[in-house]
A = this chain, B = another copy of it.
């Protein structure tokens, strides 16, 4: 074990790196690194072993993370000079471009939830070691921290330790609690945590507080620190957040800190998980049977759970609506009840994915918006998470707009690498769950509340990036693209138009990303370029995708705020039902009867 003097010297070395790196980059947050120097020194060079995990929740202090990894021998020291450069993986805030990072941070207050997921993963694997999360004091105001604090106690995560770098100053002024560390202590104790207050610049106190946790409950070490510590003109001063030193200031600062010549070994050795796919049969259905796609999802998840012991279900007290409940009954050890705390639900999934589990996260599509920032950040972690949103659109009916997922597709389509799937029946759902299981990355499945008829034979395949042609003839004069609930409206519209002598082609656009661009373009052309897209969502996002491929389309989407009513009344009121599709086709033909 290194001496306290050595750890203090290493802390200063991390300070020097952080100051040099940010000055070289011309931007960054040196002072928030300086407050954490002793904490990082103690964690990386005294406390953490080869089985331990680290989450750097205060992502703007990225330089000191890069510095610690370099001193730990995990990054060549010369790479530190690349901080924030476009050709470096040492970004301004940690992302998975740097292969040792599995939890990207920079949106504050998210690290603890991921840490909970990692600690839970260790429990599931009966694996040794602890998970350490370094969090700022300012970010402790984020509600997701308290969602995670609740969860850690619920799960008895005594392999989890949170260190709060309470440096008193936020970006634009003092934090809410400043140096009232008793306030943090009271809160964590009330939530059921072991809480210890220490001098965060005293390596002996830090090492003592972090050496071991408390049986049966998580540990919070609240460290009193000073922003800019170690440099007289920075320490505890306002106005220095996110500002690198100029060259002359840097020289003065380095002179104050002194040489800090030291090298220490570190046992910390994070590794990326690998994922493999185990094939399974996700359920069979009889054409014409009435089955909600959410029910087909529940059945497929259960089958997947049987095939693959790495699959974990995470739910937010709606498992009897998302239909994850059968999985919960069959595999209680791999079923995580996150309660009504969707941010933590997503963060838990990130931590589980970082440790090689495959989380399937389900709630009402509307409530995924609650976790939007966590979902957005998960894409920068290179996570392998499957999100499932039930109760999509106005077709849920009487519960009213608060329960209707009308922005979930916009959310996931604004993530460039996310797979986005929207099945129209139970067979498609089963096959698309298989596609998601096979895919490594973030994917989204949108399911429908109401029962709808089974359309497909069980042998039908649904590759990501494909589409299905459900009605087709050489005489087709318009293309109608539907998905989910509107696919059934499109089929009704086809029949109504057929009775009037108008042939239309109907396609099931079950794969929104990847989008079947070439197939879509071909069908549109074969139908005279007349295209109608009907979607149970705000803003016409599917129409926007289609228009990008085929040109102008008639977009039927939810254009005003809906209300309570029956499913059929609302589809009609919002003009996304079969009658609206018929009218749109007729208008296209009136405008261009050729």
Contact = CB atoms under 8 A, between A and B. Distances in A.
Contact of A320 (B172, B340, B380, B400): B172
A252 interface: no
Contact of A339 (B88, B176, B551, B553): B176
> Which 10 pairs between the two chains have the least Cβ-Cβ distance?
A143-B143, A544-B544, A106-B402, A86-B565, A190-B190, A547-B547, A551-B552, A372-B372, A407-B414, A370-B373
Interface stretch (A89-97, A284-292, A498-506): A89-97
Contact of A341 (B104, B105, B141, B407): B141
A225 interface: no
A399 B251 CA distance: 24
Nearest to A539: B414
Interface string A517-551: 00000000000000000000111110111011011
Given A104-B402, A548-B555, 16 more contacts: A84-B564, A92-B398, A106-B401, A106-B403, A141-B150, A143-B341, A172-B319, A189-B190, A190-B191, A372-B373, A411-B411, A416-B539, A416-B561, A417-B560, A541-B541, A544-B548
A321 B171 contact: yes
A95 B559 contact: no
Interface of A: 25-28, 59, 84-86, 88, 91-93, 95, 97, 104-109, 138-139, 141-147, 150, 154, 170-173, 175-176, 183, 186-187, 189-192, 315, 317-321, 325, 337, 339-344, 366-367, 369-370, 372-373, 376-377, 379-380, 397-403, 406-407, 410-411, 413-417, 537-541, 543-545, 547-548, 550-553, 555, 558-561, 563-566, 569-570, 573
A107 B403 CA distance: 7
B93 A403 contact: yes
Contacts of A370: 107, 142, 372-373
A317 B173 contact: yes
A415 B410 CA distance: 10
Contacts of A317: 138, 170-173, 175
A416 B559 contact: yes
Nearest to A319: B172
Contacts of A540: 544, 548
Contacts of A92: 398-400, 403, 564
A410 B187 CA distance: 36
A547 B28 CA distance: 39
- How many copies of this chain? 2
Contacts of A95: 400-402, 563
A27 to B, nearest CB: 5
A402 B416 contact: no
Contacts of A553: 548
B341 A86 contact: no
A544 B189 CA distance: 50
A362 to B, nearest CB: 11
A340 B139 contact: yes
Given A190-B187, A373-B372, A552-B552, A410 B414 contact: yes
B172 A561 contact: no
Contact of A176 (B105, B154, B380, B555): B154
A399 B27 contact: yes
B176 A109 contact: no
Contacts of A413: 410, 539
A417 B561 contact: yes
13 contacts: A85-B564, A91-B563, A92-B564, A93-B403, A106-B403, A142-B143, A142-B342, A143-B146, A171-B318, A414-B539, A415-B538, A416-B539, A547-B548
A46 B377 CA distance: 48
A369 B106 CA distance: 13
A344 B143 contact: yes
Contacts of A321: 171-172
A548 B552 contact: yes
Contact of A538 (B150, B416, B558): B416
Contacts of A105: 402
A551 B547 contact: yes
Contacts of A373: 342, 366-367, 369-370, 372
B318 A400 contact: no
A339 B108 CA distance: 11
A370 to B, nearest CB: 4
A413 B538 CA distance: 8
Contacts of A143: 142-147, 341, 343-344
B91 A367 contact: no
A547 B552 contact: yes
A366 to B, nearest CB: 7
A138 B84 CA distance: 43
A147 B154 contact: no
A400 B25 CA distance: 13
A272 B135 CA distance: 42
A104 B401 CA distance: 10
A149 B170 CA distance: 20
Given A175-B339, A564-B84, A377 B406 contact: no
A282 to B, nearest CB: 23
